[in-house]
């Protein structure tokens, strides 16, 4: 992105804060909050997770500005194949979750939740395999929830279900490198997510040989262009994923996925199916296992219906201002 950051007043002039209920509890939340902004290129989204500090949130704002204020890069495809996302639900609920992702041949299953046992994870993955059949693809995501020994034990227990890969089994890059070495004999690739999007150096995981592929997300990495630079520099296969965005944010992710030169894996961009409400009458829901690459126009009535409370709106707009201060300070420093 250029050093021209819109003024805070400009951003606040169009800002709408929404609170969207989820179908099933996910990442410990039942409601997803986001700020939508309108730029000259269209609507965009700022929705860093609430626990992130202002420095980390500023990258999400940079991404929002990049998508809303700059023309997008050229695209290589007009539809993106996506995976189903299965939260930490009971096995009996798996079929209902997968039904929300019509035509998806791949499922990402959440594991290593603090309130779940490995036996429950195994039962959930088994139910997904039974639902998808032998041709389906299954990847699991631990969100860094295991130490190395736990990860080795868990991957061994889950290996019979023919895993496509294991995403972020451990928290640190060093742990990822170790578990990748320990489990190499199983032939199950290791993917890095948090070790890319939350890292001071997102390329460290590639340099240290700690992962076989990268999971990249437009908002946390500072926007589509920054993410594409990381893809090019890392030289590893990538999966483009969402951060539980509204359809506006998912459209940003789809634009990124459409611009990646080689897209071997189905992408984690079907997560609008996890929301029981959205900001548009034409949400980016999977159709025949894929979503379209297009901008999303919010519906004014839906923006009003799902407007966050006054207290939460104030909280988000204050946060937007702090992230803007970080971003403008960085832009000034880079000019100097």
Q: Tell me the two tokens of residue 188.
A: 């199950």
C-alpha to C-alpha distance for 18 and 313, rounded to whole angstroms: 8
**Residue 193 annotated as binding site:** yes
**Residue 78 annotated as binding site:** no
Number of H helices, E strands in the chain: 12, 12
C-alpha to C-alpha distance for 320 and 78, rounded to whole angstroms: 32
Catalytic residues: 110, 217
Three-state secondary structure of the chain: CCCCCCCHHHHHHHCEEEEEEEEEEECCEEEEEEEEEEECCEEEEECCCCCCCHHHHHHHHHHHHHHHHCCCCCCCCCEEEECEEECCCCHHHHHHHHCCCCCCCEEEEECCCCCCCHHHHHHHHHHHHHHHCCCCEEEEECCCCCCHHHHHHHHHHHHHHCEEEEECCCCCHHHHHHHHHHCHHHCCCEEECHHHHCCCCCCHHHHCCCCCEEEECCCCCCCHHHHHHHHHHHCCCEEEECCCCCHHHHHHHHHHHHHCCCCCCCEECCHHHHECCCCCCCCCCCECCEEECCCCCCCHHHHHHCECCHHHHHHHHHHHHHHHHHHHHHHHHHHC
**Residue 212 annotated as binding site:** no
Q: Tell me the two tokens of residue 227.
A: 């993410």
Placement of tokens 């939508």 in the chain: 36
C-alpha to C-alpha distance for 151 and 172, rounded to whole angstroms: 13
- Binding-site residues for Mg(2+), in ranges, read 141, 167, 193
Residue set of the binding site: 141, 167, 193
């Amino acid at each position: 992105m250029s050093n021209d950051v819109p003024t805070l007043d400009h951003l606040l002039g169009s800002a709408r804060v929404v609170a969207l209920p989820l179908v099933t509890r996910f990442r410990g939340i039942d409601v997803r909050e986001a700020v939508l902004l309108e730029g000259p290129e269209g609507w965009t989204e700022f929705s860093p997770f609430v626990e992130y500090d202002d420095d980390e949130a500023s990258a999400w704002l940079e991404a929002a500005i990049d998508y809303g204020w700059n023309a997008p890069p050229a695209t290589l495809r007009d539809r993106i194949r996506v995976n189903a996302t299965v939260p930490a639900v009971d096995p009996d609920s798996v079929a209902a979750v997968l039904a929300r992702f019509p035509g998806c041949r791949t499922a990402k299953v959440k594991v290593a939740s603090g309130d779940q046992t490995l036996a429950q994870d195994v039962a959930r993955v088994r139910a997904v395999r039974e639902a998808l059949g032998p041709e389906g693809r299954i990847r699991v995501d631990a969100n860094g929830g295991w130490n190395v020994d736990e990860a080795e034990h868990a991957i061994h227990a889950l290996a019979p279900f023919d895993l496509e890969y294991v995403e972020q089994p451990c928290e640190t890059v060093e742990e990822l490198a170790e578990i990748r070495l320990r489990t190499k004999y199983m032939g199950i690739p290791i993917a890095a997510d948090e070790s890319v999007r939350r890292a001071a150096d997102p390329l460290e995981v590639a340099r240290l040989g700690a992962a076989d592929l990268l999971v990249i997300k437009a908002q946390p990495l500072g926007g589509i262009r920054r993410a594409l630079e990381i893809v090019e520099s890392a030289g590893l296969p990538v999966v483009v994923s969402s951060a539980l965005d509204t359809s506006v944010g998912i459209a940003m992710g789809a634009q990124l996925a459409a611009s990646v030169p080689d897209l071997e894996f189905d992408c984690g961009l079907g997560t609008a199916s996890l929301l029981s409400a959205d900001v548009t009458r034409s949400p980016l829901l999977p159709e025949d296992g894929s979503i379209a690459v297009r901008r999303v126009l919010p519906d004014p009535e839906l923006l009003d219906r799902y407007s966050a409370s006054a207290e939460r709106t104030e909280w988000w707009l204050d946060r937007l201002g702090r992230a803007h201060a970080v971003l403008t300070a960085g832009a000034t420093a880079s000019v100097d």
